[in-house]
Amino acid sequence: MERTSSIRRKAMARQHKTEVMIAGEQLRMRLHDGKLIKDRRHHLRTYPNCFVAQELIDWLVNHKEALDRATAVCLMQHLMDHDIVHHGERGAYTCCLVRHICLN
């Protein structure tokens, strides 16, 4: 019984991770279309597939993907917690790099 419960929990966790990855990939495609994700230069270095966090939060609120800025930050934190996005260079930008997700 305990083993069945453990297997069920692991399966539910994998299902949740898959759903987060799909949502992250859909968001990535929309952000590329909206020109928010692009290569950015900072201190003579180019960072591919970057977005500025403040611009993304504004975009999420303006496109009704989040009710307010706090909700948008929580959404992005959830994607960070699941390694869909991660922090990039800390400098003039607050950048996050978006990983391309393959769902094969």
- Does residue 90 lie within any of the structural domains? yes
What tokens appear for 44 in the block? 């003579």
Look at the chain and report how many structural domains it folds into.
Answer: 1
- Does residue 38 lie within any of the structural domains? yes
Identify the DSSP state of 96: E
User: How large is the average pLDDT for residues 71-85?
Assistant: 84
Note down the domain range covering 39.
2-98
The CATH number of whichever domain residue 88 belongs to comes to 1.10.10.10
- Does residue 103 lie within any of the structural domains? no
**Exposed/middle/buried for 65, CB within 10 Å: 0-12, 13-18, 19+?**
middle
- Does residue 12 lie within any of the structural domains? yes
> Does the pTM of the predicted model rise above 0.85?
no
- Does residue 84 lie within any of the structural domains? yes
User: How large is the average pLDDT for residues 76-98?
Assistant: 65
pLDDT digits 0-9 by tens, 25-39: 888 788 878 888 888
Q: Is the pLDDT of residue 101 over 80?
A: no
- Does residue 104 lie within any of the structural domains? no
CA distance 98 to 104: 18
Q: Residue 95 — very low, low, confident or very high, per pLDDT cuts 50/70/90?
A: very low
Q: Is the pLDDT of residue 91 over 60?
A: no
